[in-house]
Amino acid sequence: MKRSAKDCFCALCRTPRKLRYSRHLTKLHYGQIFVLTLVFSAVVYPFISWKGLISLPVIWAIFESVHKSLYRKDLQCPYCGFDPKWYKKDVKLARQKVEEFLKQNPDTPVLKRAKLEETTYSQYN
């Protein structure tokens, strides 16, 4: 990934991760919201005049919700399925979701590494 918003590690499998989206909107997003509001107001000006500027909170809410959903989707680890938001809400449910993810994806690097560690540990005992 060329531009990442944040570099971090997965809390469960310790793999390095690059998050594409940040938690909050950037200055670029606010500029896009402003320009989109102006364009929308210009289009609807013949019909409702300056009342078209009322669209600013609506456009802002749409931007915010889409950005938050993309950030939320980006948080889940693609290697082990760990999601910190679920972990903060309910630990048992987060564990169940990780187990389901690992059952559906048996060829993940996390399971391969665990099997490798298990075989090397059993060789020395």
| Residue pointed to by tokens 């918003």 | 5
Report percent pLDDT > 90 for the chain.
36
Q: What pLDDT does residue 115 have? A: 62
Burial of 102 (0-12, 13-18, 19+ CB in 10 A): middle
Listed in sequence order, the residues at least 6 apart from 123 whose beta carbon sits closer than 8 Å to its beta carbon are: none
Q: 0.85 exceeded by the pTM?
A: no
Beta-bridged to residue 124, according to DSSP, are: none
User: Each residue of 28-48: pLDDT tens digit?
Assistant: 999 999 999 999 999 998 888
Q: Indicate whether 2 pLDDT > 80.
A: no
Which pLDDT score, from 0 to 100, does residue 123 have? 55
Is the pLDDT score of 16 beyond 80?
Answer: yes
